[in-house]
Amino acid sequence: MTRVNTSKNSFSLDLHGFIGAYETAMCAPVRDLPWAGLPRSPARLALLLLLLASAWAGEVAPLAWLDDERFLLHDTGAGHPESPTRLHTIRAAVAASPLAAGLLRLEAREAERADLLLVHTPAYLDLVEREVAEGRRVLSTGDAMVSPGSLVAARSAVGGLIATCDAVLDGKARHAFCAVRPPGHHAEPERGMGFCIYSNVAIAARHLMERRQLTRVLVIDIDVHNGNGTYAALKSEPRAFQFHLHQHGIYPGSGVRAGAGRADETGEGAALGRTRNVSLPAGSGDDAFLTAIRDQLAPAMEQFKPQFILVSAGYDAHVDDPLGGLAVTTDGYRRIFAELVTIADKHCAGRVVAALEGGYNHQALGAAVVATLEALAGPR
């Protein structure tokens, strides 16, 4: 039995094996963990031992994992690429990883209306509730499928992400991955679109700034599509720095359409200069992402000095993804997140919270999320 006790910012472990019931004061009740099996590779075994040793030593848990059954309630219909099967695939891949045994497991809470109002207008929130109640299958504002369970799922995605950010900020974990759905980065303050209902990451950023008094939050979006919703929500917010990487010319007009990541859009008003858009041609591959992070993001952060890093973690830039074409490999995601951890370790005590956005090749999605976790949990 592996038992984690959280009291304030510290953990104690009672090790009687690797299977455990984890308790957190923040988000989750006691929850059994699946036996993941001993890792076969020496490197992975070392990683597992590192995770367990740091927890055993009373240090902050390296990595938290948010998942919740309510994320499955968002039914997009047969054949839709953004399906609950994505989460099943991710869960299976993570459960098969030795990392599973060392994760601090968190569960979601449903966001309140006040949380959603951090970004969205009252009229839009009313519209979503009304159209779901009417039984519509697509929001009238854009191509976002809805079902009777979508409100609970979308509220849980937002609330879970907020609670996870709080857990990291309060020292319960160093990094976190949130396997949420529906995704959020296309949802603008007044309209859902692009499979997104609520602007998950932008709301979490606003929570950190408005309620936790942070003044420098980095939002990096690595989904293959531009995060127009995040930009719309935060473009006038000087406390947020946005870094968007996307494939030029694809939905929603990435790098081309106004409000969708054009290079000349760098924020507005007091936030002018706080947004950087990097529009990459199809087939760019790992090195283009890594070069942008090393040559553009990292130097900018020397000035901005983020206190917290939120990642819109889309995996549709993967080389095997059916929607995107940026040719990022599974190992590329590992290297991208390793770069982000380097920035986080330098500026903000490692505080990185990643929230799932796109990614539609199931096998690639599972493998890339595990690679992400390995980078987040890796040696420092």
User: Per CB under 5 A, does 131 bind Zn ion?
Assistant: no
# residues contacting Zn ion (CB under 5 A): 5
C-alpha 39/C-alpha 26 separation (Å) is 30
C-alpha 333/C-alpha 174 separation (Å) is 19
Sort 219 into a burial class: Cβ within 10 Å, 0-12 / 13-18 / 19+. Answer: buried
Whichever of 108 and 250 has its CB closer to Zn ion, that residue is 250
Strand 275-280 versus strand 240-247 pairing type: parallel
**Contact pattern for Zn ion over residues 262 through 301, marking x by CB under 5 A:** ----------------------------------------
Give the residue at shortest CB distance from Zn ion: 358
Q: Write the secondary structure of 286-302 as one string of H (helix), E (strand) and C (coil).
A: HHHHHHHHHHHHHHHHH
User: Per CB under 5 A, does 314 bind Zn ion?
Assistant: yes
Cβ at position 74, least distance to Zn ion in Å: 16
C-alpha 333/C-alpha 179 separation (Å) is 16
Among residues 120, 175, 185, 186, the one annotated as catalytic is 186
**Residue burial 56-83, b: 16+ Cβ < 10 Å; e: rest:** eeeebbbbbbbbbebbbbbbbeeeebbb
User: Per CB under 5 A, does 227 bind Zn ion?
Assistant: no
Whichever of 102 and 358 has its CB closer to Zn ion, that residue is 358
Half-sphere exposure of 51 (CA within 13 A, CB side): 28
Question: Residue 186 in contact with residue 194, Cβ under 8 Å?
Answer: yes
Cβ at position 78, least distance to Zn ion in Å: 21
Residue among 67, 188, 223, 320 that touches Zn ion (CB under 5 A): 223
Cβ at position 314, least distance to Zn ion in Å: 5
User: Per CB under 5 A, does 261 bind Zn ion?
Assistant: no
Cβ at position 193, least distance to Zn ion in Å: 12
Residue among 74, 225, 235, 351 that touches Zn ion (CB under 5 A): 225
Whichever of 98 and 184 has its CB closer to Zn ion, that residue is 184
Q: Give residue for tokens 């090393």.
A: 294
User: Per CB under 5 A, does 358 bind Zn ion?
Assistant: yes
User: Per CB under 5 A, does 86 bind Zn ion?
Assistant: no
Q: Give residue for tokens 């969708």.
A: 260
User: Per CB under 5 A, does 229 bind Zn ion?
Assistant: no
Catalytic site includes residue 318: no
Question: Residue 220 in contact with residue 340, Cβ under 8 Å?
Answer: yes
Whichever of 11 and 333 has its CB closer to Zn ion, that residue is 333
Question: Residue 280 in contact with residue 244, Cβ under 8 Å?
Answer: no
**Which residues 315-334 are close enough to bind Zn ion by CB under 5 A?**
316
Helix (H, G, I), strand (E, B) or coil at 319: coil
C-alpha 350/C-alpha 173 separation (Å) is 10
User: Per CB under 5 A, does 67 bind Zn ion?
Assistant: no
Whichever of 316 and 320 has its CB closer to Zn ion, that residue is 316
Residue span binding Zn ion (CB under 5 A) among the ranges 63-71, 303-311, 346-354, 355-363: 355-363
Whichever of 67 and 316 has its CB closer to Zn ion, that residue is 316
Whichever of 13 and 222 has its CB closer to Zn ion, that residue is 222
Show the tokens assigned to 88: 């099943």
Biggest CA pair distance of the chain:
57
Site of interaction with Zn ion (CB under 5 A): 223, 225, 314, 316, 358
- Which of the residues are catalytic? 186
